[in-house]
Amino acid sequence: MEIKDKYLSVSNCENSDIITFIDGGTYATMKDSKGEREVINFKVSNGRYELIYTPASTATKELMKAWGRETENWIGKKFQVKIIDSMSFGKPTKLIFPIPIN
């Protein structure tokens, strides 16, 4: 049996992968070094597995530009993965930047 990841992340995807939204997302509370914050978790598919995608705020803004603020309208929409260099808490990191397809 293959052990699969639960979350979509830079460790389990590559540039140009196509990801499809399965649901309109649910709010969740996430804890980090700055305390608690509200995030949106989406069920997505990479064509092989169903995963959870928690987009960074810049990624969410890019998706809203393409498809609007009502995330139920994102169901069935696809994006292409672009892995970019970024800074998080003053440290270099990589993150998924979505390129909306439709």
Mean pLDDT by 10 residues, the chain (102 residues): 81 96 96 87 95 94 97 98 88 94 86
Q: Write out the two tokens for 49.
A: 């597995």
Q: Domains of the chain, with CATH numbers?
A: 18-100 (2.40.50)
Q: What is the pTM of this model?
A: 0.89
Are residues 59 and 96 in contact, defined by beta-carbon separation less than 8 angstroms? yes
Q: Write out the two tokens for 40.
A: 């949106």
Are residues 81 and 14 in contact, defined by beta-carbon separation less than 8 angstroms? yes
Are residues 55 and 40 in contact, defined by beta-carbon separation less than 8 angstroms? yes
